[in-house]
Amino acid sequence: MLAAGLLFACAMLAACNPEQSALHPAGQDAAELANLFWFMTAGGALVWCIIMGSAIYAVLGRKRPRSERFADRFVFIGGVAFPTIGLAALLVFGLALLPNWAEADTPDLQVQVVAEQFWWRLGYEAADGSQVATANEIHLPVGATAEFVLTSTDVIHSFWIPSLGGKMDAIPGRTNVLRLTPTKPGVYRGVCAEFCGPSHALMAFPVVVHEADAYAEWLETQRQPATAGNGEAFIAAGCGACHVVRGISEAGSVGPDLTHFASRRTIGAGTMLLTPANLADWLVAPSHIKPGSRMPSFATLPDAERQAIVDFLLELK
């Protein structure tokens, strides 16, 4: 029994991780949603106390006849007036959180998000109107309103960064828009919140919120072509047929853009931390690590060639 209690306590503490918690807001929308949660929690607690108090009074109170007038009033107040007023208050509080984008200002930046099984294709709009392609890791400036333009190439996904705000579906053939304004620098975790296949739980992404100058520096770095050295092993293994590495391999369009792969924190859309050992394992058995992944295995490559690909990818900063 004690072990079960400790296990439950550990699970509850693990759920308090602020990197993916709607109750540790780091954005304007998340703060409003957290306020709604606490408002509804307080309202639910008040209703529970009233109901339990009434039940205790009915059981333990003095037994004496009540008039029909008292009963009618009790039913009207407790069964009609109180629920109507309570639900109306919750409705008004909730409707006030709906965004009025018709009167909203132009966003500070726009990010194109294309959800695919099981990763995220990203495109940042630069000041000159050009697109800066990247994948599986979002960077934002603190205090700036970011507009995410969402769609999908296969099934319905859902884009959610709990610490920054609410979620929005990414639907094939349709474009949805979500605006978020981060208020605290830090690293947060975004996820797909709509079941989309066997690796749905492995379709996550880090979200890095920078100060304005650091974000501008990051974006400028992402615009540059790759600066890695020898990519012969990468090209010879056919990796360029799926992946773009600007300045080295431009033809691929099936998989994520790897131009600055080594600057990211994770492999496989948040599946594993980016380390040399994890990258080597990923090249050997991607579909074992991430079921449903379309990444082919390179287990049949000689160790030296596979290591050359690992070394090349780790230079792509």
Query: d(Cα 178, Cα 102) in Å, to the nearest integer?
Result: 13
Q: Kindly report each contact of residues 54-59 with a partner whose C-beta sits within 8 Å and lies 24 or more positions away, as own/partner.
A: 54/78
- Is the residue at 140 inside a domain? no
Chain CA centroid to CA 112, Å: 15
Query: d(Cα 28, Cα 64) in Å, to the nearest integer?
Result: 54
- Residue 3 above 70 pLDDT? no
Domain that includes residue 91, residue range: 22-95
| Predicted confidence band of residue 69 (pLDDT cuts 50, 70, 90) | confident
Q: Closest by alpha carbon to 148, among 101, 184, 187?
A: 101
From 95, 125, 155, the end of a domain falls on 95
Q: Closest by alpha carbon to 18, among 161, 220, 115?
A: 161
Token pair listed for 274: 């980016």
Query: d(Cα 215, Cα 222) in Å, to the nearest integer?
Result: 11
Which residues lie across from 138 on neighbouring strands? 207
CB of 170 closer than 8 Å to CB of 157: yes
- Is the residue at 36 inside a domain? yes
Q: Average pLDDT of the chain?
A: 88
- Residue 181 above 60 pLDDT? yes
From 95, 115, 131, the end of a domain falls on 95
- Residue 159 above 90 pLDDT? yes
pLDDT of residue 13: 52
pLDDT of residue 91: 84
pLDDT of residue 14: 52
Query: d(Cα 116, Cα 151) in Å, to the nearest integer?
Result: 9
From 70, 95, 120, the end of a domain falls on 95
- Residue 241 above 70 pLDDT? yes
What is the number of domains present in the chain? 2
- Residue 239 above 80 pLDDT? yes
Average pLDDT over residues 143-147: 94
Q: Closest by alpha carbon to 267, among 254, 256, 252, 253?
A: 256
pLDDT of residue 138: 97
Segment of 105-109, 124-128, 136-140, 296-300 carrying the highest mean pLDDT: 136-140
- Is the residue at 5 inside a domain? no
Q: What is the CATH number of the domain that holds 282?
A: 1.10.760
| Predicted confidence band of residue 44 (pLDDT cuts 50, 70, 90) | confident
pLDDT of residue 2: 60
Chain CA centroid to CA 220, Å: 24
pLDDT of residue 9: 57
- Is the residue at 255 inside a domain? yes
Higher pLDDT, 70 or 30: 30
- Is the residue at 6 inside a domain? no
Higher pLDDT, 21 or 304: 304
pLDDT of residue 104: 65
Helices of type H across the chain? 2-14, 28-60, 68-76, 82-95, 212-223, 232-236, 276-284, 286-289, 303-313
